[in-house]
Amino acid sequence: MAVSPVYKFLSQVPYFSEIDSEYLEVIFRNAVKKDIAPDQVVFLEGDPNIGLYVVEKGWFKVVKIAPSGREQVINFIGPGEAFNALSLFADIPNPATAVALESSIVWLLPREVMLQMLDKYPKLAQSVIKSLAGRVQHLVGLVEDLSLRSVEARLARLLMEQAAGETVHRQKWATQSELAARLGTVTDVLSRALRKLTEEGLIQVSRHQIQILNPEELKARAEFE
């Protein structure tokens, strides 16, 4: 019997990769496909939670937005990842805003279905707890960065984390404005940090990638100041 591509995709999502097929079938039957346009808001901070979103295609940013309009990016979410779990399982309004960075496809798993699955299947609850612990660890790292590191050190650390080998591949949407929002700064300050690392021979910046030329020194720059 042929396996649906959507079923296969959901079975590979970390939340669901270890659960029995009968429970995965329930999730599959209740999943709602949503096509999302670039810059479309998926949900706003303070909105009621309606479910868990799983990304099949595309990229999203989860942000806190100040009254002035300035953004602090909490996380970038890509294919195979889920978002909105915190408010879903804590039964609180959405704590941040989610925006599509490019044309995307997500599957919405209704809140009621997910809560029923948690009651019926302990392994799913374990997967959720593990994932939420990872999110908390990420947020602790973000606070650490903003509190204890300079913009240059934050940039160096981010480049080291995102590098595949010694190359950081830049997504189409990864503008300096988006990168600045991730680092908690503004584009002018980020530009100066990039220029300094470039002039000192640590990195080489091109349109589609950033090449790390001196990994040891870049790692040293990422340390606490």
3-state secondary structure of 64: strand
**Contacts within 8 Å (CB) and 24+ apart, 158-161:** 158/182, 158/183, 159/203, 159/210, 159/212, 159/218, 160/212, 160/215, 160/218, 160/219, 160/222
pLDDT in tens, 62-79: 999 988 888 999 999 999
The confidence score (pLDDT) of residue 29 equals 92
For residue 6, pLDDT over 70 is answered with: yes
CB atoms within 10 A of CB 129: 11
Strands, sheet with 167-169, edge to edge from the N-terminal-most edge strand: 167-169, 209-212, 203-205
Q: What's the mean per-residue pLDDT of the chain?
A: 89
pLDDT band (50, 70, 90) for residue 224: low
Mean pLDDT along residues 200-205:
95
Fold classified for 5-146? Jelly Rolls (2.60.120)
pLDDT in tens, 143-187: 888 888 899 999 999 999 889 889 999 888 988 999 999 999 999
Residue type, 61: K
The confidence score (pLDDT) of residue 16 equals 85
Q: Where exactly are the structural domains of the chain? A: 5-146, 150-221
**119: DSSP letter:** H
3-state secondary structure of 165: coil
Residue 188 exposed, middle or buried by CB count within 10 Å (0-12, 13-18, 19+): exposed
Mean pLDDT along residues 90-99:
89
pLDDT in tens, 103-127: 999 999 999 988 888 888 887 888 8
pLDDT band (50, 70, 90) for residue 1: very low
For residue 87, pLDDT over 90 is answered with: no
The answer to whether the Cα torsion of 53, 116, 24, 27 is positive or negative is negative
- Residue 114 makes CB contacts below 8 A (sequence gap 6+) with 27, 51, 52, 88, 89
Query: Between the CA of residue 15 and those of 25, 109, 162, 192, 201, what are the distances in Å?
Result: 14, 12, 23, 40, 42
In the chain, pLDDT over 90 holds for what percent of residues? 56
The confidence score (pLDDT) of residue 4 equals 87
- The CATH code of domain 150-221 reads 1.10.10.10
The confidence score (pLDDT) of residue 141 equals 85
The confidence score (pLDDT) of residue 134 equals 83
Range with the lowest mean pLDDT among 12-16, 104-108, 199-203?
Answer: 12-16
Q: Cβ(51)–Cβ(91) under 8 Å? A: no
Strand partners of residue 33: 107
Nearest C-alpha neighbor of 150 from the set 222, 210, 203, 74: 222
Query: Can you read off the two tokens belonging to residue 23?
Result: 């429970």
pLDDT band (50, 70, 90) for residue 55: very high
